[in-house]
Amino acid sequence: MTLQNFLTNEKWAQKMSLLIDADLYLFRALIATEEEVEWTTDCWSLYSDVAAAKESFNAQVERWKQKFEVDSVVMCITGDKNFRKSLDPEYKSHRKKSRKPLGYSAFVEWCKESYAYCCEPTLEADDVMGILATAPDSKTIIVSDDKDMLTIPANLYRPQREELGMSSKETADRTWLLQTMVGDSADGFPGLPRVGPVTAEKILGRDGGWSQVVQAFQKGGFSVDDALLQARLARILRYTDWNQETAEVRLWEPA
C-alpha cells in the first residue's frame, strides 16, 4: 500500500499503530538463520532456513504488539527508486557490493502478504515511518534501532536498548543538523569533512541552527549549496516534506 492509502484511511488514523522498520528486522531475522555447510575440504555452500526466519520475525512482532497493547502494525519497506540518488548518484553506491541474505526478496514478499505494509517507490522505509509518524493526529510508535529515526519528532522504540522516547521538534531538528555536518558512512554521504560529533556540537552551540551549519561549511571551503545537499541527504522526511497530491518529495528549503 502507498502513503496515500494510509494517510487518507480514517480507520488507520484512529488506531494506535506500530510503524516497524521492516527492512532492518527482516534482514536480521533472515541473516541469523544462514548456515555454512562443508561438503568436502574445498566445497562449501550456504543456506537459509526461511521457515525459521519467519517464525522468529512473527514472534518478535507479537512481543512488540503485546508490549504496547496494540493490534495494528504497519511494515515500512523501502521502494526501488530512492529519490536521494537523484540528488547524489553516490548515495549508498557502496552498498552495491554488499550481499543481502539468501532468499531476502522472497522474504520481503512474504512480509507484504502477511502484514499491512506501506511502500512508496521513491522513498526509504525511514521516510515512510517519518511521514506517517508526523501526520496530523498520528497515533504511532516507530519501532527501529536506526539512529536516523532520532531526527523525527515522534515516539520511538529502540528494541536493542529497550528504550521508548519522544523527541521534540527542537531536539529532532538539532539531531538532523548534527547529522548534516557529521555525515553517515553507512549511507554514503560525507557531511563536512573533518567534523565529528564533538566538533559538530561545538559548532551548533546551545541554540545554533542552519546559519551556523552554513558558516561551518563555508569556513571549510564549501558552498551554501554543498551544505544544502548534505542537509537534504541527511533529512528523514516528515509529513510536511511529502506532497500527497503528486506523490512527490518536497525538498527541504531553509526558511
What is the average per-residue pLDDT within 180-189?
85
Q: What are 95-133's pLDDT values in tens digits?
A: 566 788 889 999 999 999 999 999 999 999 999 999 999
E strand or H helix at 86, and its extent? helix 84-87
The pairs formed by 160-169 with CB atoms below 8 angstroms and a separation of 24 or more are none
Q: What is the pTM of this model?
A: 0.92
| Strand-strand pairing, 155-158 and 140-143 | parallel
E strand or H helix at 46, and its extent? strand 43-47
CA angle 80, 122, 31 (to 5 degrees): 40
Flag whether pLDDT at 14 surpasses 80: no
Q: Find all residues with CB under 8 Å of 124, minimum gap 6, and list them.
A: 23, 78, 79, 82, 84
Question: What sign has the CA pseudo-torsion 215, 216, 222, 227?
Answer: negative
Question: pLDDT-based confidence at 3, cuts 50/70/90?
Answer: confident
What is the average per-residue pLDDT within 181-192?
86
Q: Which three cell numbers stand for residue 95?
A: 552498498
Yes or no: say if 18 and 141 are a contact pair by the CB < 8 Å rule. yes
Question: pLDDT-based confidence at 208, cuts 50/70/90?
Answer: confident
- Residues 3-168, CATH architecture: 3-Layer(aba) Sandwich (3.40)
Mean per-residue pLDDT of the chain: 91
Q: What's residue 94's pLDDT?
A: 62
- % of the chain beyond a pLDDT of 70: 97
CA 143 to chain centre: 10
Domain locations along the chain: 3-168, 171-233
Question: pLDDT-based confidence at 75, cuts 50/70/90?
Answer: very high
Flag whether pLDDT at 76 surpasses 90: yes
Q: Which three cell numbers stand for residue 196?
A: 565529528
- CA-CA distance, 142 to 158, in Å (whole number)? 8
- CA-CA distance, 28 to 36, in Å (whole number)? 17
Residue 168's nearest CA partner among 158, 184, 149, 154 is: 154
